[in-house]
Structure 1
Amino acid sequence: MQRSAPRPPLRFSTQTLLLQVAVVLLVVLLSAAVHAWLTYDRVGSEAENQALTLARTVASDPSVRADVQAISAREGTPPAAELAAGPLMQAAEAARTRTGALFVVITDETGLRLAHPEPERLGEKVSTDPSEALAGREVTTRNTGTLGPSAGAKVPVYAPGSSAVVGEVSVGYSMETVGQSVARDIGPVAGTAAGALLAGVLGSFLLRRRLQRLTLGLEPEEISTLVHDQVAVLQGVDDGVIGVSADGRISVFNAAAQRLLDLPDLTGGRWEDAPVPDQVKSLTRPGTAGSDALEVVAGGRVLVANARKALHRREDLGWVVMLRDRTELQELTRQLDAVGTMSTALRAQRHEFANQLHTLAGFMSIGQHRQAREYLAQLAATGPLTFPVEQAELLQDPYLQAFVGAKGVEAEERGVALRIGPETLVRGQVTEAQDVTTVLGNLIDNAVNAAVAGAATERWVEVEVLDEPRDDGGTLHIVVADSGDGLAEGTDAEQVFTEGFTTASGPLSMNLSRNLARNGRAGGQGFGLALARQLARRRGGDVSVLDRGRQGGPGAVFMATLPHTTAGSAEAPGSLGTPGSLGTAESVGAPDTSGTARSDTAPRSAEMKGDNNDG
């Protein structure tokens, strides 16, 4: 026999609805029951009071008192027929008929019935205890007698002109009549209860609909799973995720976003008031398509930011802003470019060295030993094959030597001569190579771009580096000058440190897609100076403009201060005149620098600083 498939569990909203309906029904029923019981008790008490009043009236009748005394004084009990025709029976029935009571019973001092609605019960003992009334006390009772359940009262009958009890009067009203009165009174209550129940059910149904709408029709287990998945995804990715609700509040600000922007958790705050770069905020402003990506500098990092509109069933849920760190990618790209440039230079030097060896071998093979010696002397006089950086021997740190050498090769390929200023003095060793090379590399790249774009015929970039030893780590002071045209007229000196600005061509678009198309690789222009300044300031230093430069050259002069970046002094400062170090050379098309390699039209940065101070 094939078993039927188990019933799926009720949805949470349905369970909630049923529970609410059950609670409302229970409350209504309990309220109705309490009200009915109170009404029943009130009507019963009213019946007891009516019975007590009627019993007092009958017991105080002088004729009743006299007749009861007369019968009590007789020997034995009169026959039932005599009692049925007697005045007591007539008085009791008249009172019962007039008031609608269930019974009016009169007894003698022993509890024998002298008047009763059923004549055949006359002369018999009453079915309920008359002792309280015969003892002279009035009582109200609810009990069941020969005529059924009743609410009544018992009152003693006193002898005329005496306080002696000679009998008692018992009056009762049927509880069925009380129930009918309760039923009449409970009708409006039942209607009210039914209305309350209907209102409760309707409210529960509306609440169920709202609950379904707020939870998007999801069950609590599904919501719990989604929350766990959301936390795992948002906190487990390296990309920053910022959620902005439709009312402009930050609903999500994951740990990666806090790390990339160097900000605390901003969840719950206003998006427009958040200390987030304005370029990122502009992605979510009205009229923004949200498809373009921007490069921004924040927290000492180069970030790519884009935003997407979040919709659910055509409902606007707000924006999702994504942040990706491109700092490491740009650093790797810069290093790869430097390595490629150095490899090209080394291949050229290897080719030239091979030609020199072939020349020597040719002299030796034809027996021209004197010419060979003269050729060797000429090679010794011109120096070894080195990188095209003038006075690079002033840099004693090997790391700076290699880095500046690579930059010199790059600059030479673009027709720019890179040289070290005469006031350069670096005695310590660089301890924070990444930050130093990032700042120095960006300043040199910016200067080379400006020199290439400038109008001067002789293109050059001059770098001066000075370390200031301290116990807690030395400070590097870097000054970079170029032969470019300086800052454009009307350009504020602080404007060059904003994202998307380059001294080579002015403000650039920061649209990532256009950058990719123009450069053929990740990253755009106009972020080097902004990144350099943020890195320097994060270390307690700064990058600033010392001189704006002038049209036709020399160009602008930039200065960077990097605290806590050097330590001690170089143990074996390498001279760039030794093989494998940086220096001047004839290789790779470098101009002859043995003589007056520097013209008067290319002043050093120190001289430019002096001119700036004079002017």
Structure 2
Amino acid sequence: MRRPHTLSSLILTYVLVILVVTMGLGFGLYTRVSGRFLDEDTERQALAIAQSVAADEGIRTALAAGDPGHEVARLAERVRAADDAAYVVVVDRAGVRHSHPNPALIGQLLDNPASALDGQTHVGIDQGSLGPSANGKAPLRAADGTLLGAVSVGILESTVSRRLWSEIPLLALYTGGALAVGVVVSLFLARRLKRMTFGLELDDLAGLLQEREAMLHGIREGVVAFDPHGRLSVINDEARRLLELRHATIGVTLDDLLPDGRLRDVLAGTDAGADQVVLTDEFLLVVNRMPVRLGGRDVGSVVTLRDRTELEGLLRELDSVTGLTDALRAQQHEFSNRLHVLSVLVGMGEHEEAMSYLDELTTTSTGQAEQLRAQITPAALAALLLAKITIAAERDILLTVAGDSRLENPGPDPRALLTIVGNLVDNALDAVAESPAPRQITVRLRDDADVITIEVTDTGPGVAADDTDRVFTDGYTTKPTRAGVRRGLGLALVHRLVTRLGGTITCAPGPGGSFTTCLPAARPVVRT
């Protein structure tokens, strides 16, 4: 297998490639621009030489006299040598050369004398007999301004190229320095990035990202991560479902995600502790928050969310069934004793006494159920209260339904009504279980007008005046923890259900517990 490239080698390679490409393009652009500037500068230099020759008094005098002693060629050659020009050509008005580096051309006519004798200055590139050159032309005039001829000076392109190439070492030095700086910077950058990534290479980071995505979205627990500034950095699909954050955006703060409440306090760490139980509108969550430190640095926190809604409901149902089973077991012993009494009475021949005893037992057991059924029309609610009365009796607690209780309308949600009454009664049973006698609970149910009123009072210690509002907060309890059952959820669950149904629930301060719930009654459908 091919060995993967390290982060430092990749950075170094890419930086060098970028530098080489940019330096190459820069070098080409520099040589082109410099060459153009040098051509223009050399053309101006050639024109300046031509103008100085045209202003030479000796040349003007000799040319005006027809140059009988060939003085023009000598003076022009001296200027050419002194200024390192390729040629200095002086022509008269007829276009005849009076000077030229090639003596054979002296006395010959120019190929195009009209452009040279128009009385104007010219610059450009001349493709002459000596090769391409930067050329400058200047008119040669007498003292009175009469046009005597023209002077043409050329500087070969090879001279310009030598000047350009003389600057290459400096450019090469600059390029080498830039490459050296790029190498040093790339190595420094690679080292810093490697320290920031805890020594992991690119392949390792890609693998970690894939594993993280697979883990986050593959587990059945909600996972939420926050950076050191409290901004959301990670959230998986299960957390979005449990927190009902379908469109949560990475980078937002917790204050923007959730409203003020216990859930936000637990996620932020304000309400600290392990296995914090939080009740939302839809779920019962077990929340754990852990700070995260890597390399001695605080990198934020991770919160895990577990959905315990169904499990908690099953545990509570199991707890209720267990209590009912214990009550039935105790009643079984009581009924066995009663049957034993009947058996002895019959065996003794006391048939009338036996019949009287049996009638008394039948009247007592069925009378209470019939009376409760007459007061409470919903059969499920009546059965629930009868079961709670049996459980209370087994725990030596007197649970009674007030004589003025009347309930025919189960409200908009009969199942919610069962949950509300059941939780309030269970809470009262726990409250008076350890209280001294008399241990009594009274339940009053009314459906007057459009309101269903549920009152549950007990002779327990009650709720302190300062805690009448906090008592409905999930997790708040004054009872000792019991294995298998989470405290501080019953009243919070009741409060959530009542609020969702549009009702209210209030708690009166102690001594004695007193909870009053008002629910809107279901409106009957009028059929025509």
Same fold (TM over 0.5): yes
Could you tell me whether the CA contact under 8 Å between 1:58 and 1:64 is conserved in 2?
Answer: yes
Could you tell me whether the CA contact under 8 Å between 1:130 and 1:154 is conserved in 2?
Answer: no
The residue aligned with 1:606 is: none
1:497 aligns with 2:460: no
The residue aligned with 1:605 is: none
The residue aligned with 2:33 is: 38
- Would the alpha carbon gap of residues 545 and 284 (structure 1) be closer, same or farther in structure 2, given more than 3 Å must change? closer
- Would the alpha carbon gap of residues 485 and 115 (structure 1) be closer, same or farther in structure 2, given more than 3 Å must change? closer
Deviation at 1:160, TM superposition (A): 8.2
The residue aligned with 1:99 is: 83
Question: Any residues of structure 2 matched to 1:7-22 within 5 Å, and which?
Answer: 7-8=2-3, 10=5, 15=10, 18-22=13-17
The residue aligned with 1:86 is: 70
Deviation at 1:330, TM superposition (A): 2.5
Tell me how far apart the structure 1 counterparts of residues 516 and 282 of structure 2 sit (CA, whole Å): 18
Could you tell me whether the CA contact under 8 Å between 1:240 and 1:322 is conserved in 2?
Answer: yes
Tell me how far apart the structure 1 counterparts of residues 205 and 13 of structure 2 sit (CA, whole Å): 21
Tell me how far apart the structure 2 counterparts of residues 222 and 563 of structure 1 sit (CA, whole Å): 60
Could you tell me whether the CA contact under 8 Å between 2:262 and 2:278 is conserved in 1?
Answer: no
- Would the alpha carbon gap of residues 265 and 86 (structure 1) be closer, same or farther in structure 2, given more than 3 Å must change? closer
Could you tell me whether the CA contact under 8 Å between 2:269 and 2:289 is conserved in 1?
Answer: no
Deviation at 1:427, TM superposition (A): 0.6
Could you tell me whether the CA contact under 8 Å between 1:104 and 1:117 is conserved in 2?
Answer: yes
Tell me how far apart the structure 2 counterparts of residues 461 and 184 of structure 1 sit (CA, whole Å): 109
- Would the alpha carbon gap of residues 501 and 52 (structure 1) be closer, same or farther in structure 2, given more than 3 Å must change? closer
Could you tell me whether the CA contact under 8 Å between 1:39 and 1:185 is conserved in 2?
Answer: no
Deviation at 1:420, TM superposition (A): 0.9
Deviation at 1:121, TM superposition (A): 4.8
TM-score, structure 1 normalization: 0.70
1:402 aligns with 2:386: no
The residue aligned with 1:587 is: none
Deviation at 1:423, TM superposition (A): 1.9
Output one character per residue of 1:392-447: Cα deviation in whole Å (capped at 9) or x when no partner: 33222111122223322332232212211112111124653443233222211221
Tell me how far apart the structure 2 counterparts of residues 233 and 432 of structure 1 sit (CA, whole Å): 40
What percent identity do the matched residue pairs reach?
Answer: 32
Could you tell me whether the CA contact under 8 Å between 1:389 and 1:417 is conserved in 2?
Answer: no
Could you tell me whether the CA contact under 8 Å between 2:93 and 2:147 is conserved in 1?
Answer: no
Deviation at 1:533, TM superposition (A): 1.8
The residue aligned with 1:330 is: 312
Tell me how far apart the structure 2 counterparts of residues 245 and 445 of structure 1 sit (CA, whole Å): 43
The residue aligned with 2:136 is: 153
Question: Any residues of structure 2 matched to 1:382-401 within 5 Å, and which?
Answer: 382-383=361-362, 385=365, 391-393=371-373, 394-401=375-382
The residue aligned with 1:78 is: none
Unpaired runs of at least 5, structure 2:
none
Deviation at 1:133, TM superposition (A): 0.3
Could you tell me whether the CA contact under 8 Å between 2:432 and 2:458 is conserved in 1?
Answer: yes
Could you tell me whether the CA contact under 8 Å between 2:38 and 2:160 is conserved in 1?
Answer: yes
Match of 1:419 among 375, 397, 400: 400
Could you tell me whether the CA contact under 8 Å between 1:436 and 1:562 is conserved in 2?
Answer: no
- Would the alpha carbon gap of residues 493 and 159 (structure 1) be closer, same or farther in structure 2, given more than 3 Å must change? closer
The residue aligned with 2:42 is: 47
Tell me how far apart the structure 2 counterparts of residues 437 and 40 of structure 1 sit (CA, whole Å): 97
The residue aligned with 2:514 is: 557
Deviation at 1:95, TM superposition (A): 1.7
Tell me how far apart the structure 2 counterparts of residues 322 and 450 of structure 1 sit (CA, whole Å): 33
Could you tell me whether the CA contact under 8 Å between 2:399 and 2:440 is conserved in 1?
Answer: yes
Deviation at 1:542, TM superposition (A): 2.3
1:117 aligns with 2:101: yes
Aligned residues: 521
Match of 2:231 among 224, 232, 249: 249
Could you tell me whether the CA contact under 8 Å between 1:463 and 1:481 is conserved in 2?
Answer: yes
Unpaired runs of at least 5, structure 1:
73-82, 509-514, 570-615
The residue aligned with 1:340 is: 322
Could you tell me whether the CA contact under 8 Å between 2:411 and 2:519 is conserved in 1?
Answer: no
Higher relative contact order (CA 8 A, sep 6+): 1
TM-score, structure 2 normalization: 0.80
Output one character per residue of 1:444-484: Cα deviation in whole Å (capped at 9) or x when no partner: 122112212222x23221111123465xxxx4321111122
- SS of residue matched to 2:230: coil
Tell me how far apart the structure 2 counterparts of residues 265 and 278 of structure 1 sit (CA, whole Å): 19
- SS of residue matched to 1:319: strand
Tell me how far apart the structure 2 counterparts of residues 266 and 169 of structure 1 sit (CA, whole Å): 80
Deviation at 1:526, TM superposition (A): 3.0
The residue aligned with 1:466 is: 446
The residue aligned with 1:600 is: none
Tell me how far apart the structure 2 counterparts of residues 177 and 45 of structure 1 sit (CA, whole Å): 13
- SS of residue matched to 1:453: coil
1:480 aligns with 2:456: yes
Could you tell me whether the CA contact under 8 Å between 2:372 and 2:382 is conserved in 1?
Answer: yes
Say what the alpha-carbon RMSD is for the aligned residues: 4.3
Output one character per residue of 1:356-408: Cα deviation in whole Å (capped at 9) or x when no partner: 778878888x795xx55653454234326569879533222111122223322
